[in-house]
Amino acid sequence: MANAMKFVPTTTTVITFDNLADSSVTTYVLATWTGSQDTSAGNTFIRANHGRLAAIEVDFSAPVVFEGADYNSWGGAQSGYAFDLYLGGNLVAHGPLDPNTCCSLSWLSSGYSGLVDHIAFNGSSDGAVIDNLTYTVSAVPVPAAAWLLGSGLLGLVGIARRKVA
């Protein structure tokens, strides 16, 4: 019984916002002013918050490990300038955002390896951008079918022997 459990391999997904239909993101809220913009390379990113301080929020249909995202903001440091990671409505991790990323996307590593189902990017009132949101579906233990079938058959044989005796 050394290998009674096996693990489903992890899968890393990158959301480029070019095609949201193929991802496990169920909703994304881009508060106040919203939109997407085509870059010169033909890639799309999501921008929000123009003129107001509001979060870019992403909800997942099942818990994932948030790896990071490309991030950009304008307007300098403001109170609450950070990203928050949640699981089941509880804050599980909090990290600062660099307010000086104007004019180019910078990789934001989450630094947290636990599961999350909600991400909030709290940026400046002059605007924020996210792209290439990267997450991993964590490994899930699955009982090995042979062990499960074998133990079930042994149980049935034991019950049958008791009835005969």
Coil, helix or strand for 112? coil
Least confident of 28-37, 74-83, 102-111: 28-37
User: What pLDDT digit, counting tens, does each position of 46-96 carry?
Assistant: 554 444 556 777 888 888 999 998 887 765 555 557 789 999 999 999 988
Give me 106's structure tokens: 């910078």
pLDDT of 107? 85
CA geometry: angle at 56 spanning 52 and 58, to 5°?
160
Other beta carbons within 10 Å of 87: 16
* Per-residue model confidence (pLDDT) at position 120: 85
Residue 107 structure tokens? 């990789």
Percent of the chain with pLDDT over 90: 10
Instruction: Please check whether residue 24 is in contact with residue 60, taking contact to mean a CB–CB distance below 8 angstroms.
Output: yes
From residue 48, alpha-carbon distances to 45, 91, 103, 146 in Å are 10, 23, 15, 51
Tokens of 100: 């000086």
What region, left, alpha or beta, does residue 112 occupy, with left being phi > 0 and alpha being psi -120 to 50 degrees? beta
Q: Which residue has the higher pLDDT, 162 or 95?
A: 95
Is the CB of residue 78 less than 8 Å from the CB of residue 97? Answer: no
pLDDT in the model for residue 102: 64
- Mean residue pLDDT across the chain: 68
Residue 16 phi, psi dihedral angles, 5° rounding: -95, -5
With cut-offs at 50, 70 and 90, classify the pLDDT of residue 11: confident
Its CATH architecture, for the domain 9-164, is: Sandwich (2.60)
Tokens of 121: 């990017």
Q: Where are the domains of the chain?
A: 9-164
Q: What is the pLDDT of residues 135-161, one digit of tens each?
A: 998 665 555 566 666 777 777 777 877
pLDDT score of 112 = 92
Alpha helices in 34-144 (DSSP H): none
